Amino acid sequence: MWLQIKGPREKATKLRKVIKDVLPIDVHRPQPLAKDALPAAGADCLVSCFCLESVSPDLATFKRALGHIGRLLRTGGHLMLIGALGESYYLGAPGVKIPVVPLNEAQVCESLTEKGFTLIRLEVYTMNRDMKVGVDDVTGIFFAKARKD
Structural domain spans, the chain: 41-148
**pLDDT surpasses 90 at 26:** yes
**pLDDT surpasses 80 at 2:** no
pLDDT at 108: 98
Give the tens place of pLDDT for each residue, 33-74.
988 888 889 999 999 999 999 999 999 999 999 999 999 999
pTM as predicted: 0.83
Domain 41-148: assigned CATH number: 3.40.50.150
- Listed in sequence order, the residues at least 6 apart from 124 whose beta carbon sits closer than 8 Å to its beta carbon are 85, 105, 140, 141, 142, 143
Yes or no: say if 87 and 136 are a contact pair by the CB < 8 Å rule. Answer: yes
Largest pairwise CA distance in the chain: 48
Higher pLDDT among residues 134 and 111, named by residue: 111
**pLDDT surpasses 70 at 4:** no
What does the alpha-carbon distance between residue 7 and residue 26 come to, in Å, rounded to a whole number? 34
Range in 6-20, 38-52, 75-89 the model is least confident about: 6-20
What is 20-81 written as a DSSP string? Answer: -------TTSSS-S-TTSS-TT-EEEEEEES-TTTT-SSHHHHHHHHHHHHTTEEEEEEEEE
Mean pLDDT of 117-130: 92
